[in-house]
Amino acid sequence: MRLNDREFEHWKEGLTIQDVIDIMRFVYPRLVIKVNGKLIKKEEYSSFVLQENDDLKIYHLLAGG
C-alpha cells in the first residue's frame, strides 16, 4: 500500500483508514482523504478497510498563520 506516494510500511490485513491516521499520529483535524482517487468521507474512516495495492492519499489542509 502507498501513502502519499510513499511505501507504507505498516500495512496489514484489515487495516482501516482510521488505523493509518492513528499510526501516523495525524492529529490535524482538516484532512482530505482519497483511496485510489475516490474521496472518502470522515464517517467512513473507521470502517474503510484498505487493500494491499491501494493508493491512499491523506492531505493536510494547512497553509500557515
Where on the chain is the footprint of another protein (CB under 8 A)? 4-6, 25-30, 32, 39, 57-65
Give the three cell numbers for residue 30.
Answer: 482538516
CB of 52 to another protein, least distance (A): 20
Instruction: Supply the minimum distance, in Å, between the C-beta of residue 6 and another protein.
Output: 6
Q: What is the C-alpha separation between 40 and 35, in angstroms, rounded? A: 7
CB of 39 vs another protein, minimal distance in Å: 6
Torsion, Cα of 26, 55, 19, 9 (10° steps): -90
Pick between residue 13 and residue 29 the one whose CB is nearest to another protein.
29
